[in-house]
Amino acid sequence: METKTLKKEVANTDKTIRISGAEAVIRSLLEEGVDLIYGYPGGAIMPIYDELYKFQDKLHHVLTRHEQGAAHAAQGYARVSGRIGVAMATSGPGATNLVTGIADAQIDSTPMVCITGQVARHLLGSDAFQETDIVGISTPVTKWSYQITNASEIPEVIAKAFYISKSGRPGPVLIDITKNAQFEEFDFCYKKCNGIRSYKPVPVVNKEKLQEAASIINSAKKPFIVFGQGVILGNAEEELKTFIEKTGIPAAWTILGLSALPTDHPLNVGMVGMHGNYAPNLLTNECDVLIALGMRFDDRVTGDLNTYAKQAKVLHFEIDPAEIDKNVKTEVAILGNVKESLAQIIPLVNEKKHESWHEEFKKKRDIEFEKVIKKDLYPEKEGLTMGEVLKEINNATGDDAIIVSDVGQHQMFACRYAKFKRSKSNVTSGGLGTMGFALPASIGAKMGAPDREVVAVIGDGGYQMTIQELGTIFQTKVPVKIVVLNNNFLGMVRQWQQLFFDKRYASTELTNPDFITIAKGYHIKAKQVKKREELVNAVNEMIASKEAYFLEVCVEKEDNVFPMIPTGSSVSDIRLS
Amino acid sequence: MEEKKTFTISVYSENNVGLLNRISGIFLKRHINIESLNVSSSEIDHVSRFVIVIYATEDWTKRIVKQIEKQIEVIKAFYHTDEETIYQETALFKIESHLLFDERQIQNIIKESNSQIVTVSRNFFVISKSGRRNEIEELYDQLKPYGIMQFVRSARISVSKEEMQISTMLKQFQEQE
């Protein structure tokens, strides 16, 4: 793997030097501590790439095979490292190819800065070669976007971009730089951004609201916590653990909250949502107090809002005021960073056990185990299940891998059955549901956490959406492990067709290529598994490999993910089969 | 189901390129039609003010205001009902000049409606009328039988009856910085 920690240039805000806008971009990135960029060059960004060439000992550039790959790789890097991912592309198609990754980062609150080249200022609006209004296109899916047309704007705008992207509720920022601004010379000096007049990223925690929330928690008989990615983004994992251990409240996670609490923690009661666990979904409609921590009541979590937790007093701990009462009406809203608000409420809450309430979770978990989990993890039928593949990955990695999953049935199996000991270990496209996310995101994840095992779990559909990134893996020698769970179907859509469209499998069956030959074409070690008795050894061999490794597991063709809450149904209507 | 009403949303913001696109996108995303939109300078130097009129439920209006406030360049956004604001629109009516002399009633209409003659030329004259929407519509109905060559109505401008305290807020921001 070529990536290494590169020497950071020392910030010097006092001196000015006369340099080009292109060099100013590189120097600004170095001032922000960036040492890794994912991208793809082209006409309108060539001056910046020329400077990158000169600074290659300080700033490592990973050439992906498509700009979408660059954006997802930057996301993967950001999600595991907690730093800002940086992606770069040229104007026009280069810029528009980033958009899917940007939209994904926006909905999943991933800090990312994208830099795009743009045609020269005098050509703007003339439909020049490779001109698109990328600021206009990306506006609805960015936290902030800005077009630079003069070189002198570069340091201030980049400083602002990094501040906005990472502070408060993180998100993607796009900076579009015209080609003339890249060539122009100006007197460069860099000052980091510490605040913007109109932007207050973290609301101050209201102590009276905390008291009110604590009093409700203390008098609750059946309290229940649902935590989301806000816990991970706010580095509040320890506070979450202390809070639940003191109050004895069962805690469930959203898909992006996964790994904030170790899987085997006794108070961890599983996943909420459409394919979440039976107990936390069902008991959402029986709890008397619902405590939402750093989560946004996504429709995949709530199902029908008219029947969601109507009996409960809802306490919402959230950094983004726009999320309060957006979907679910709250009794008390605690605005602020969840790390800070949890730390402040812990002394105010009483120690409790809630044993009989826990017993209800256990009873329902036993039902789910008998009807679903047992057949997923310990199947008696001949065909391999996705669940048992995840179980073997857990075994081979000691429950300590970073699992990067794509979108579809395999994603739900991965999120249900992958086990985690550490936070920032689950990387998946939650809000946007972007097929093609996992392969490039796993490259970024491995570069963001080089000492950890990174396993990408992908379906045969999503794999082929960004399969070209095998070239990036080959070139960078990044040792990611790729598991394709191949059922020759767009499995999740097929499942819906089976359940809700009378088995009319319209355009969901895939005739796949020889994945092993393709992997080998990229000089990546590869193996195919078709039988159960081959699985354990193959997974172990993959994990033991020091290099990238591709494992294709041919799984049962028409397996389904259960439990399931059909779209628009109540969480109480969760189906086990 | 909550009743829909007319709400006036006031947005104080930095005067930056592209913000209009961001703000209008918030309405577009929710499929809510903007009935009227005005952007101008405000009482504070370098701070712009948007006045946006929508017809929606209060619940939706609240959510939209929160989304608007979330935008980086927005300092603060408010929403008010018609009863809580003083608001006006301005309209211009272009009418053939001879009517001013041939149709005596036109002069009465101008006088009674408190509108003003902006200009008179050989071929046409222009009346300006400021007021609430219904007053402008009433004048339109009165003039229509005589023939209106051109008609245009501005967006609503509005000030709230209660104080918006933007200056205090900006002062606090500066002190914090």
How many Cβ pairs within 8 Å bridge chains A and B? 48
Q: Residue A134 is inside which H or E element, if any?
A: helix A134-138
pLDDT (0 to 100) of residue B69: 96
Q: Using 50, 70 and 90 to split pLDDT, how confident is the model at A2? A: very low
Q: What is the C-alpha R_g of chain B?
A: 20
Chain mean position to CA A99: 16
Answer yes or no: A156 catalytic. no
Strand A185-188 with A426-428, pairing: unpaired
Average pLDDT over residues B63-89: 96
**Which amino acid, one-letter code, is at B77?**
A
**Which amino acid, one-letter code, is at A146?**
Y
Residues in chain B closer than 8 A to A200 (CB atoms)? 173
Determine which one of A130, A211, A344, A498 is catalytic. Answer: A130
CB-closest option in A135, A147, A322 to B70? A322
Q: Using 50, 70 and 90 to split pLDDT, how confident is the model at A15? A: confident
- What interhelical angle do A386-397 and A409-417 show, nearest 10? 40
- Distance (Å) from the alpha carbon of B74 to chain A's nearest alpha carbon: 6
Query: CB-based contacts of A246: which residues, under 8 Å, 6+ apart?
Result: A346, A349, A351
For the residues of A432-451, what is the DSSP string, one character each?
S--TT-HHHHHHHHHHHSTT
Mean pLDDT score across all residues of chain A: 96
Q: Is 80 exceeded by the pLDDT of residue B1? A: no
CA dist., res. A490 & res. A206, Å (int) = 48
In chain B, where the domains are located: 5-86+157-176, 88-153
Token reading at A459? 């379906």
pLDDT (0 to 100) of residue B176: 63
Residues in chain A closer than 8 A to B29 (CB atoms)? 140
Token reading at B50? 């948007």
In sequence order, the β-bridge partners of residue A234 are: none
Average pLDDT over residues B7-35: 94
CB-closest option in A136, A147, A321 to B66? A321
State residue A236 phi and psi, 5-degree precision: -105, 20
Mean pLDDT score across all residues of chain B: 93
Q: Is 80 exceeded by the pLDDT of residue A5? A: no
Q: Is 90 exceeded by the pLDDT of residue B168? A: no
Tell if the CB–CB gap between B75 and A198 is shorter than 8 Å. yes
Token reading at A440? 């490039």
CA dist., res. A86 & res. A102, Å (int) = 11
- Cβ(B92)–Cβ(B127) under 8 Å? yes
In sequence order, the β-bridge partners of residue A188 are: A17
Q: Using 50, 70 and 90 to split pLDDT, how confident is the model at B72? A: very high
- What interhelical angle do A438-448 and A67-81 show, nearest 10? 40
SS (H, E, C) A457-491: EEEHHHHCCCHHHHHHHHHHCCCCEEEEEECCECH
Answer yes or no: A208 catalytic. no
Which chain A residue has its CA at the smallest distance from B19's CA? A139
A362-366, B40-44, B87-91: least confidently modelled range: B40-44
A576 CB neighbour count, 10 Å cutoff: 12
Determine which one of A23, A31, A51, A67 is catalytic. Answer: A67
Contacts 24+ apart (CB under 8 A), A48-53: A48/A22, A48/A88, A48/A115, A48/A117, A48/A177, A48/A182, A50/A22, A51/A20, A51/A22, A51/A23, A51/A25, A51/A26, A52/A26
Give A16-68 pLDDT, tens digit per residue. 999 999 999 999 999 999 999 999 999 999 999 999 999 999 999 999 999 99
Q: Which of B72, B172, B174 to mutate to test the interface with A (most CBs of A within 10 A)?
A: B72
CB-closest option in B21, B74, B176 to A198? B74
Residues in chain B closer than 8 A to A143 (CB atoms)? 72
pLDDT (0 to 100) of residue B171: 75
Residues in chain B closer than 8 A to A320 (CB atoms)? 70
Chain mean position to CA A353: 33
For the residues of A36-61, what is the DSSP string, one character each?
EEEE---GGGHHHHHHHHHTTTTSEE
Q: Is 90 exceeded by the pLDDT of residue A13? A: no
CA dist., res. B22 & res. B20, Å (int) = 5
Tell if the CB–CB gap between B72 and A136 is shorter than 8 Å. no
Q: Is 60 exceeded by the pLDDT of residue B135? A: yes
Token reading at A310? 């109507």
- Distance (Å) from the alpha carbon of A140 to chain B's nearest alpha carbon: 7
Percent of chain B with pLDDT strictly greater than 90: 83
3-class DSSP state of A35: coil
Please list, residue by residue across A104-113, b when 16 or more beta carbons sit within 10 angstroms of its beta carbon and e when fewer do: bbbbbbbbbb
Give A178-225 pLDDT, tens digit per residue. 999 999 999 999 999 999 999 999 999 999 999 999 999 999 999 999
Q: Is 70 exceeded by the pLDDT of residue A7? A: no
pLDDT (0 to 100) of residue A49: 98
CA dist., res. B19 & res. A145, Å (int) = 10
Per CATH, B5-86+157-176 and B88-153 having the same topology is answered: yes
Answer yes or no: A129 catalytic. yes
Average pLDDT over residues A412-426: 98
CATH superfamily of B5-86+157-176: ACT domain (3.30.70.260)
Determine which one of A2, A4, A129, A183 is catalytic. Answer: A129
3-class DSSP state of A406: coil
Determine which one of A492, A495, A542, A564 is catalytic. Answer: A492
Tell if the CB–CB gap between B174 and A197 is shorter than 8 Å. yes
Tell if the CB–CB gap between B72 and A147 is shorter than 8 Å. no
Tell if the CB–CB gap between A322 and B14 is shorter than 8 Å. no
**Which amino acid, one-letter code, is at A328?**
V
- Distance (Å) from the alpha carbon of B75 to chain A's nearest alpha carbon: 4
**Which amino acid, one-letter code, is at A38?**
Y
pLDDT (0 to 100) of residue B174: 67
- Cβ(A439)–Cβ(A405) under 8 Å? no
Average pLDDT over residues A102-123: 98
**Which of A18, A22, A52 lies closest to A35 in space, CA to CA?**
A52
Sign of torsion over alpha carbons A375, A378, A384, A390? positive
CA dist., res. A178 & res. A126, Å (int) = 14
CA dist., res. A278 & res. A534, Å (int) = 32
A229 CB neighbour count, 10 Å cutoff: 27
pLDDT (0 to 100) of residue A14: 67
Token reading at A138? 């990306």
Residues in chain A closer than 8 A to B170 (CB atoms)? 197
**Which amino acid, one-letter code, is at A479?**
P
pLDDT: which is higher, B175 or A249: A249
pLDDT: which is higher, A12 or A158: A158
Give A336-385 pLDDT, tens digit per residue. 999 999 999 999 999 999 999 999 999 999 999 999 999 999 999 999 99
The answer, yes or no, to whether the previous bond of A347 is cis (omega within 30 of 0) is no
Correct CATH for B88-153 of 3.30.60.50, 1.10.3720.10, 3.30.230.10, 3.30.70.1150 = 3.30.70.1150
**Which amino acid, one-letter code, is at B29?**
K
Residue carrying the six token digits 């830099």: A115
**How many angstroms separate the most distant Cα atoms in chain A?**
72
Average pLDDT over residues A451-480: 98
Average pLDDT over residues B113-129: 96
Q: Using 50, 70 and 90 to split pLDDT, how confident is the model at B17? A: confident
pLDDT (0 to 100) of residue B166: 82
Residues in chain A closer than 8 A to B70 (CB atoms)? 320-322
Query: Residue B117: how many CA atoms within 13 Å on its side-chain side?
Result: 15
Tell if the CB–CB gap between B22 and A139 is shorter than 8 Å. yes
Which chain B residue has its CA at the smallest distance from A326's CA? B63
Q: Is 80 exceeded by the pLDDT of residue A75? A: yes
Token reading at A7? 């020497």
Percent of chain A with pLDDT strictly greater than 70: 98
Q: How far is CA B139 from CA B106, B110, B133, in A?
A: 11, 9, 10
Burial group, residue A246, by CB count within 10 angstroms (0-12, 13-18, 19+): middle
pLDDT (0 to 100) of residue A8: 39
- Distance (Å) from the alpha carbon of B136 to chain A's nearest alpha carbon: 36
CA dist., res. A276 & res. A413, Å (int) = 10
Average pLDDT over residues A481-505: 97
Residues in A lying within 8 Å of B, measured between beta carbons: 135-136, 139-140, 143-147, 164, 195-200, 320-322, 324-326
B171 CB neighbour count, 10 Å cutoff: 11
pLDDT (0 to 100) of residue B109: 96
